[in-house]
Amino acid sequence: MAWVLKMDDATIESGLVHDFDASLSGIGQELGAGAYSMSDVLALPIFKQEDVSVPVESDTKNPPFQYVLCAATSPAVKLHEETLTYLNQGQSYEIRLLDNRKIGEMPELNKTVKSIVRVVFHDRRLQYMEHQQLEGWKWNRPGDRLLDIDIPMSVGITEPCTHPSQLNAADFLWDLSKRASVFVQVHCISTEFTPRKHGGEKGVPFRIQIDTFKQNESGEYTEHLHSASCQIKVFKPKGADRKQKTDREKMEKKTVQEKEKYQPSYDTTILSETRLEPVIEEAVEHELKKSSKRTLPADCGDSIAKSKRGSCSPWPDNAYVNPNTAATPTFTSSTHTYSSSSTVPDSESSSPNHQGDLGSLMSMESLSPTASIQDTQKWLLKNRFNSYSRIFTHFSGSDLLKLTREDLVQICGAADGIRLYNALKSRAVHPRLTVYVSLEASQSESPLLEKRGHSKNGKHGSPASIPVYHALYLEEMTACELTRKISSVLALPLSHINQVYKQGPTGIHILLSDQMIYNFPDESSFIVSTIQDDTSDGFHLVLK
C-alpha cells in the first residue's frame, strides 16, 4: 500500500525563499573578508624546491628577503634531501635579490642594504679547516680568486667590493625598491679539495651563501638581517651541463615507482633560509669579539636533514663588513690563537728523535688522562696540531684519549687523524738500528756501584757480577751518533773520547766508521772497554 502526502499550495509556498537574491547573500563572505594569500598554495609540495621540515611559525612569517640562483637543480636528488645545483667554472650565474617583506613589515629598514656573497664548504669537517684549505688553494693558484662578481652583467647593485684577504667573498649594496641581480663566477672546482687526485674522484660540495646587513646608528652595515644558502658542485667548463645530462638520463631509465622517490628538476634554485645559532669562542677571540653567531640551515633540527646536509659557514665578523679593517674568519686557526706563554719554538715542535732514555722521552711527549683543558691545548700546540685546537677547545686529556682512530680520521682527515692517533697512543718511531752496550767488568765498579755491591760482611753480592746492558737507539746510523750515545751511558764527556774502535779478528782494532755501523746487525751487543790515551787526558773506546 502506498502512502500519499497531500499538502495544499499555501503550505508549500511558505517554506520557499521569497527573495532569490537573499539566498546568495552569504556566499563568499569569508573569502571577501581578507586579502587572498598565495602562501598556502606555495606551501604545497609541487611548488616547493625542497621538501624539508619547516617550523609552524614559518607558515605565517615569511623571510624578509629571497635569493634565487638561475641554474637548474639536479634531478638525481631524493626527497627530504637538499637540492644540488651544478655550476661551470668561471661562468657567470645570476642571483636575483628579492624584497619579500609585506606592507608595513620592518618599516625601520632603510632603502639600501648590504649583502655579502660567499662560497663556503658544505662539509662540516672542511668548514673547520676552511682557512688552511683556502691557503693551500691560494698557494697553488697565486693571483686567482674563488669568487668574483661580474659587474657589467649585474643590475641594481652599487659599490661592489672584493677584499684581497677574502678570496671566497664579495660584498655590494642594493636598493630594496629596485630590481636587483648580481652575477657571480666561481673559479674553484670541487675536485681541487679532494684528498686524492688520481682522476674520477668525487668532488666536494660547496655552498653559495648570502648574508644581508642593515645600517646601525653609526651608518655602518653591521646589523645582521637575513642569511640563505644552497648546495652546489662546480665542474670544469661545460662539465656541469654533461653532469646534468647524465643525471637526467639516469632518471629516465628508472621506473615510475623509483622516480617518485626523487625530486623533479627545477629551472632555478631557491636559496634556503638559515637561522642563527651561537658558537663557542676561544679565549683570545672572546676578548677581541664579545659575541659571535653561526648560521645553520633552518631545518637542522630535523634528524634526517641533519645527516644529509652540512651547516652553513659563520657569517663574517664586523671587521669584515667594515672595509677599513681586515677580515677575520670565525674558524681561522693560527699559532697566535694562544698566549705567548704557551708558544712552542719550532725546534721543539719538530718530530723528536730517539735520544737518551726512551722511557723519559715517551713520558714527556705522551698526553696524560689527567691533563686539564689547558694542558691538552698546550700538548696539541707542541705536537703541531694547532690547526685543530679550535675543535678540541673543551677537551681534556681523558676526552681526547677516548676518541677512536675512526673518530680522529673523520674529524681531522686521514693524514692528520692517523698522526694524532699515533701521538695519543705514544707510538714512537721504530729506530733504524738498536745496539746494546755494557761496560767491561773490570771497569764498571764505580764507587757508587762498589757501595751497592758489598754486603754487610764486606764481600761482593750478586749485583756486581751481573753484566748490565744499555739499549741505544740509532736514527742516523753514524759513528758520531753512536759515540755521542755511548758517552752519555759512560757519563764521560764527549770531548774526552778520542777514537772509537771495534775489535776485529785476532784482536785488531778497527776504526769505527759510518759504513761499519750501517752493516751492524740489528740488536748487536758489545762490551765497551776504555783505554787511556798516553798523549792526552782523553780515552779510546773499544767495542768487543
- Where among 321, 351, 372 does a domain terminate? 321
| pLDDT reported for residue 230 | 92
319: its cell numbers: 671587521
Give the pairing type, strands 92-99 and 65-69: antiparallel
- The DSSP H or E segment spanning 246 is helix 239-252
Same structural domain, 82 and 206: yes
**Residue corresponding to grid cell 693524514:** 415
Gyration radius (Cα) of the chain, Å? 38
- Where among 424, 457, 487 does a domain terminate? 424
Task: Tell me which amino acid residue 2 is.
Answer: A
Same structural domain, 135 and 90: yes
Question: Taking a C-beta distance cutoff of 8 angstroms, is the pair 74, 232 a contact?
Answer: no
Residue at 96 is within a domain: yes
Q: In what order do the strands lie in the sheet with 92-99?
A: 147-149, 180-186, 92-99, 65-69, 269-270
| pLDDT reported for residue 357 | 42
Residue at 365 is within a domain: yes
What CATH number corresponds to the domain at position 272? 2.60.40.720
Residue at 19 is within a domain: no
DSSP state, residue 542:
E
Same structural domain, 458 and 382: no
Residue at 23 is within a domain: no
Number of domains, the chain: 3
Mean pLDDT over 201-225 rounds to 84
Same structural domain, 65 and 199: yes
pLDDT in tens, 339-371: 333 333 333 333 334 444 444 344 446 788 888
DSSP state, residue 454:
B
Give the pairing type, strands 539-543 and 497-503: parallel
Containing domain of residue 63, as a range? Answer: 46-321
**Residue corresponding to grid cell 666561481:** 186
% of residues, the chain, pLDDT over 70: 64
Residue at 22 is within a domain: no
Please tell me the distance from the alpha carbon of residue 467 to that of residue 520, in angstroms, as a whole number.
Answer: 22
% of residues, the chain, pLDDT over 90: 9
| pLDDT reported for residue 408 | 87
pLDDT in tens, 266-291: 899 999 887 654 433 333 343 334 33
Residue at 40 is within a domain: no
* Closest-CA residue to 274 (of 211, 337, 326): 211
| pLDDT reported for residue 476 | 83
Same structural domain, 385 and 475: no
DSSP codes, 155-176: BSEEEEEEETTEEEEEEEEEET
What CATH number corresponds to the domain at position 357? 1.10.150
Distances in Å between the Cα of 481 and the Cα atoms of 43, 473, 521, 532 are: 76, 10, 17, 22
Residue at 94 is within a domain: yes
* Closest-CA residue to 81 (of 267, 306, 240): 306
Same structural domain, 479 and 529: yes
DSSP codes, 176-238: TTS-EEEEEEE---GGGGSS--SSSPPPPPEEEEEEEEEE-TTS-EEEEEEEEEEEEEEESTT
pLDDT in tens, 461-508: 444 567 788 888 888 888 888 888 888 888 888 888 888 888 888 888
| pLDDT reported for residue 305 | 38
Residue at 438 is within a domain: yes
SS3 content of the chain, % helix, strand, coil (to 5): 30, 25, 45
Same structural domain, 228 and 172: yes
Same structural domain, 311 and 294: yes
Same structural domain, 381 and 438: no
Same structural domain, 441 and 407: no
Same structural domain, 416 and 439: no
Same structural domain, 254 and 392: no
- Where among 365, 395, 424 does a domain terminate? 424
pLDDT in tens, 20-55: 555 555 554 444 444 445 555 455 544 444 444 444
Question: Taking a C-beta distance cutoff of 8 angstroms, is the pair 262, 80 a contact?
Answer: no
Q: How confident is the model at residue 128 (pLDDT cuts 50, 70, 90)?
A: confident
Mean pLDDT over 62-82 rounds to 87
CB atoms within 10 A of CB 431: 17
| pLDDT reported for residue 184 | 92
Question: Taking a C-beta distance cutoff of 8 angstroms, is the pair 472, 486 a contact?
Answer: yes
Question: Taking a C-beta distance cutoff of 8 angstroms, is the pair 509, 531 a contact?
Answer: no
The yes-or-no verdict on residue 304 having pLDDT over 60 is no
Q: How high is the mean pLDDT of the chain? A: 72
The yes-or-no verdict on residue 57 having pLDDT over 50 is no
